Structure 1
Amino acid sequence: MKTVSRVVAAAGLAIASLNAPVLAQDYPSKPVEFIVPWSPGGGSDTLMRIVAGNVTPYLGVEMPVINMPGVGGTVGLTEASRRDADGYTISQVHEGLLAATATGLTELAWDDFDHIALMTASPQYLVAAADQPFDTMEGLVEYAQANPGELTIGVTLGGVPHLHAAMIAEAFDIEWRYVGYEGTGERIRALVGGNLDLAIGDISSSLQFAENGDLVFLASGATERMAQTPDVPTFMELGADLDLSITRGIVMPAGSPEEAQAAMEAALMELSQDPTFVEQINNAGADVAFRGREAYSAYLANLAETVERLAEVIAP
């Protein structure tokens, strides 16, 4: 009996060892839904659709995008956090989630997810409506100082754009009135439509309107001039020590299978080295900034400490 038991046990271990890699290879066996917690047309939507549109050769399945905007990105992220942790739902986070947590907008936190990969970094721009009495940063500062509190600027209240706008105002000793919009695309459309004087934008949401003459780039939050906007000075060139970018990464609901996390990380790492993908991200005004699971988690932990320290600046 003991011999039979040993044989059965050994057979069971052998079957388990054979099944383990098969289970890993079985993922993914169906499309992976990508919840983008922002409205269509903004930087997150544009960049994440580039990810979704190019990842299939590396992941093996399609990645349909579902936009779920609302409350500073927390509506879609809350839905993502509640989905089955089976590897078939991913979402996107950036500094906005950390700001929303720090200011009490949501109880959801960055560590309520499994972090898969940091993918992109996007310098932010200060953009103005084309009908303003200024078309340079110097002109804006002169006008704003002569007319304190008159200008309106579109941001995500309590979010990173709000923080960036407050940092610009502080650096240049100016005052303006903050107007809240859910996503970048929404506030840029409001700017073009004549409902705002200024907004925090990016290449993907704003370049076409600038080329059409509907708005003007005043300054860039990049550390060096961007190839897509070579005539736009950086804030650093203008005398302000401001590095204003938004990073975007991929997460899964907490507790997702290890094999799913590893497979997604590997697919995204391969994608990050794809020349076509890199070109499309660059053309959208961002850089590929891949970090894997461990490095991305460490990045978010450090960033959370910084945002917490600055929370009072952007508290609603």
Structure 2
Amino acid sequence: MKLRTGLAALLAAATLVAAPASAQDYPERPVEFIVPWSPGGGSDTLMRLISGNIADHLGTEMPIINMPGVGGTVGLREASRRAADGYTVSQVHEGLLVATEAGITDLSWDDFEPIALMTASPQYLVVHPTEDYADFAEFLAYAKANPGAITMGVTLGGLPHLHAAMIEQAYGLQFQYVGYEGTGERIRALVGGNLDAAMGDIASSKQFVDNGDLQFLAVGTPERVQEVPDVPTFVELGSDLNLLVTRGIVMPKGAPQQARDKMEAALEALSQDENYIEQTNNAGSSVMFRGQEDYRIYLTKLDGTVKSLAEVLAP
């Protein structure tokens, strides 16, 4: 009896010691990073920079799994179904909020645990060079004279669709929309001459602009971007458009607080890593860190903004 009692006490003590030790040791294996977009686009490029630099701060690798489809919602659906144990993360941006409001998915941002906002990327109106227009003023004149003639590459029901519709609304234009899953896919279609214009970013488009295959007509920032100082802002061109993509890291709902805190701390340390900052800037984006609570507040406010603009996407 004494032996059994002693063993039971020993096992109980071992359990008490083991539980916090296991949590304290998180992460004990690699954390899978589901990127819900195809390779080559802005999200994929920027998330690979996080994946490639996080190990020194997190203590383990964070390998990327690309799961594109339906405006980024296929990968996010998979991420939402993963075990809430801290060993799966994914990436969201404004596109999820737009897809939710447009009825593309029943997922919403608060089906996840926001961990950290990491980057902000200005969006550009990108065109395939043509004799019909050489700058935005000529593009505007051509588009007004030929309503519906310009084919515009977007993610239908996603953020690029919203941004393009905002341009339509601001200047009284009408585009013919063509849907693509990710930025990389539509920019390749634009390079191939299958589109007239698209919403893009530096990460996906600048190499093609530099070699003359594409042209930036305007950027959706309040001031000109240092990497492309010759590209005018929409503000300069007569509207108050602010077109940005902010990207953040989330975990499945119910992930342990300790895992969330450790991931947040690792991402905050990464956001101060000079090598990572330089790589992110070179990719045409800026590091913009917000921790769990600030990111949740940001998403709440952003959700209100998207709801107020949802009618722009109405057919």
Q: For the superposition of Structure 1 and Structure 2, which TM-score range results when normalised by the shorter chain?
A: over 0.9
Amino acid of the structure 2 residue aligned with 1:84: A
Match of 2:281 in 1: 282
Report how far residue 135 of structure 1 moved: 2.1
Report how far residue 239 of structure 1 moved: 1.5
Pair 1:155 & 2:157 matched: no
Amino acid of the structure 2 residue aligned with 1:80: A
Could you tell me which runs of 5 or more consecutive residues in structure 1 were left unpaired when the two chains were aligned: 1-7
Q: Secondary structure at 1:227's aligned position in 2?
A: coil
Amino acid of the structure 1 residue aligned with 2:308: R
Pair 1:59 & 2:58 matched: yes
What is the total number of aligned residue pairs between the two structures? 310
Match of 1:291 in 2: 290
Deviates more, 1:167-176 or 1:86-95: 167-176
Report how far residue 25 of structure 1 moved: 2.6
| 1:158–1:315 contact (8 Å) kept in structure 2 | no
Structure 1 distance, partners of 2:314, 2:67, is: 23
Report how far residue 109 of structure 1 moved: 0.8
Pair 1:312 & 2:296 matched: no
TM-score normalised over the length of structure 2? 0.94
Structure 2 distance, partners of 1:135, 1:14, is: 75
Residues 217-256 of structure 1: pairs in structure 2 closer than 5 A:
217-256=216-255
Match of 2:179 in 1: 180
Match of 2:4 in 1: none
Structure 1 distance, partners of 2:163, 2:128, is: 18
Structure 2 distance, partners of 1:159, 1:246, is: 11
Change (3 A) 1:294 1:15: farther
Q: Secondary structure at 1:310's aligned position in 2?
A: helix
Amino acid of the structure 2 residue aligned with 1:253: P
| 1:132–1:197 contact (8 Å) kept in structure 2 | no
Match of 2:3 in 1: none
Change (3 A) 1:32 1:197: same
Structure 2 distance, partners of 1:315, 1:270, is: 42
- How far does the alpha carbon of each residue in 1:35-81 deviate from its partner, in whole angstroms, 9 at most, with x for none? 00001110100000001000000001111101000001000000000
Structure 1 distance, partners of 2:95, 2:266, is: 25
Report how far residue 16 of structure 1 moved: 7.3
Match of 1:272 in 2: 271
For the aligned residues, what is the CA RMSD?
A: 1.9
Pair 1:106 & 2:100 matched: no
Match of 1:38 in 2: 37
Structure 2 distance, partners of 1:71, 1:297, is: 24
Match of 1:90 in 2: 89
| 1:129–1:196 contact (8 Å) kept in structure 2 | yes
Match of 1:79 in 2: 78
Report how far residue 314 of structure 1 moved: 1.3
Amino acid of the structure 1 residue aligned with 2:275: T
Report how far residue 12 of structure 1 moved: 9.7
Q: Secondary structure at 1:45's aligned position in 2?
A: helix
Report how far residue 20 of structure 1 moved: 5.8
Report how far residue 169 of structure 1 moved: 1.4
Amino acid of the structure 1 residue aligned with 2:146: N
Match of 2:25 in 1: 26
Flag as ranges the 4+ runs of structure 1 deviating above 2 A: 10-25
Report how far residue 139 of structure 1 moved: 1.0
- How far does the alpha carbon of each residue in 1:240-273 deviate from its partner, in whole angstroms, 9 at most, with x for none? 1011001000000111111110110000000000
TM-score normalised over the length of structure 1? 0.94
Q: Secondary structure at 2:234's aligned position in 1?
A: coil
- What percentage of aligned pairs have identical amino acids? 65
Amino acid of the structure 1 residue aligned with 2:268: M
Amino acid of the structure 2 residue aligned with 1:146: A
Report how far residue 21 of structure 1 moved: 4.9
Could you tell me which runs of 5 or more consecutive residues in structure 2 were left unpaired when the two chains were aligned: 1-6
Report how far residue 22 of structure 1 moved: 2.3
Q: Secondary structure at 2:110's aligned position in 1?
A: helix
Structure 2 distance, partners of 1:222, 1:14, is: 59
Amino acid of the structure 1 residue aligned with 2:195: L
